[in-house]
Structure 1
């Protein structure tokens, strides 16, 4: 009787380990897909901002718009249109799943307000800086923005006294070295001033996302991830459209200019097709990132999502450069190397890379 019970217990333990390993592997795959789709979002967004009325704004027919308007207001408008489209997809998702009432109830809770605060840092500040950085510096801006996990680790240490061990420090050094490599290319003698400014603005995006990650970690742990993503995208889209853009318009001396340009943007059919795609891909990327965090832990989820530092330039090169025939989207050997280094540095910050090999050995032993 005891022997039979032992066999049953051993079988149950083995089955549990097998399910855990499968769950872990699936989480890694979903996390990598979140990084891939975020890279694709970057390419689709840039493509949308090259069509319709956007082609006029960034082309020769600017309609008398100043450099400030084209760089900052139009850049912020691109982020706003994308986030509004992404928010619509998120609302459709929770609506179809019967969670719309939960969405409105959660907004007025402490976790909901924390995510709204994180969205303000990640949307009007980081997302806009990300878009403007890409418009000014091209694909080089993407790995710079991927410094956010390193910044998040430092902020976690300063604000919450979280661990910052030697391994994480090495990962931060790798990320910084990669950013210096990219910066050395962008700040070279032949580089345009816009590239240098784009890299600086991209670093602002990294700062914004670093702060967002630290703050959102608290709120997202206590509510449904799909609800949290919806709160994030709705807050970001509305804040960009109704707060940031009018402020930038007032800086330019015409607060209503932003709304005029927004009307033209939302009615530009050739561009809105691609904004709908970029908004959907952005929504999927955030959803998969949250899901990966819940399946593998936030550290590994951060690492796998951070691979957009490689997938972003790759997607832009393929979609915009190779397929679209647009110039300026190729990367040098140094830039590709730095992008891969950045992804590796993010992995080192998030976890001990040897754990992946240990996990693989465990899975092989269980299969045997």
Structure 2
């Protein structure tokens, strides 16, 4: 005779196993995306920055143009090929029209796009991809904390221990002494602080986005929900960010920046690659939330730091400082501490 409790327990263990495996796939894609995010700063029009204003404002406008065009391309590609290939494309308009749900996806898009990815791209441009990738390690801590306060997602003591080890790794990677020295260096590029502030914004933005997604995914399919989030991000860029820049700088500056970005074939190619790595990694990360919870889903995904460091070295020859290697090692140790949770305590932490 089949024991119902045993079946439930087996199903829960399978969900947990697949949650971690899907999170690792996300980490690989997300890590490789930082190679593409580095390259886009080396191709027209971002290599010379001649199409953008001078100084810190030019960097802000350039990063905004870069991400506006990129997220639009990613949305088109993933909608046609991923949603279309899985037979879910017809569900997207219905999800968007359900405003009680789609407004939360739009909010997640605003936090994850114009706040988090904007900050991350600025960090890549000013400080470097390895720093930008590593700084977002604290995303999981923010996401887990907010999810616990907001809707009571349980995090076991061992899971908090793993997150704590990751935080220590993040401190090594950020290297506060060097960060302060670079910001206060008179010869540093104008607006250098924007790179470090951007990394901080990415941590907060992605953490809050994860908490929102973990809640609202309970009500919809994660794939159509994610693409609704992409629509929200495109709208925020189009109807909020760019009108502000038009008021501050004039329509001519904005048109020049966007036209130069759209007319660059090399950028468009790399923007598509970012869509197939960074944006596609979202598909897998959002699938982890209902399986193992926001805290664990974001934490296992932060293994991307390791793949980012390896990718930057293999494909671009960018060396990695010893403190980043130590920090990445600690982050991985934190992940394994979390993974070592006993079956019962791990199942208690999922909704």
TM-score of the aligned structures, taking structure 1 as reference length: 0.79
Structure 2 residue 39 is the aligned partner of structure 1 residue 47: yes
Q: CA deviation at 1:309?
A: 2.6
The alignment status of 1:33 with 2:25, answered yes or no, reads: yes
- 8 Å Cα contact 1:133/1:141 also seen in 2: yes
Q: Is the 8 A contact 1:125 1:205 kept in 2?
A: yes
Give unmatched runs, 5+ long, in structure 2. Answer: 347-351
Unaligned stretches of 5+ in structure 1? 1-5, 323-328, 360-368
Partner of 2:324: 335
Q: 1:1-368 maps to which residues of 2 (within 5 A)?
A: 9=2, 24-57=16-49, 62=50, 65-92=53-80, 93-109=82-98, 110-138=100-128, 139-160=130-151, 163=154, 166-181=157-172, 182-184=174-176, 186-187=178-179, 189=181, 193=188, 197-251=194-248, 253-319=249-315, 321-322=316-317, 329-345=318-334, 351=338, 353-355=340-342
Shift of 1:178: 2.8
Shift in CA distance, 165/274, structure 1 to aligned 2, threshold 3 Å:
same
Computing the radius of gyration from Cα coordinates, the structure with the larger value is 1
SS at match of 1:221: helix
The Cα of 1:25 is off from its aligned counterpart by 3.9
Q: Which range moves more in the overlay, 260-269 or 88-97?
A: 88-97
Q: CA deviation at 1:346?
A: 5.8
State the TM-score, normalizing by the size of structure 2.
0.83
CA distance in 2: counterparts of 1:14 and 1:220, whole angstroms: 27
In structure 1, distance between residues paired with 2:30 and 2:224: 20
Please state how far the C-alpha of 1:35 moved relative to its aligned partner.
Answer: 0.8
The structural deviation recorded for 1:240 is 2.1
The count of aligned residue pairs is 337
Deviation, structure 1 residue 256: 3.9
2:349 equivalent in structure 1: none
Worse-superposed segment, 157-166 or 13-22: 13-22
The alignment partner of 1:54 has SS state of coil
1:363 is aligned to none
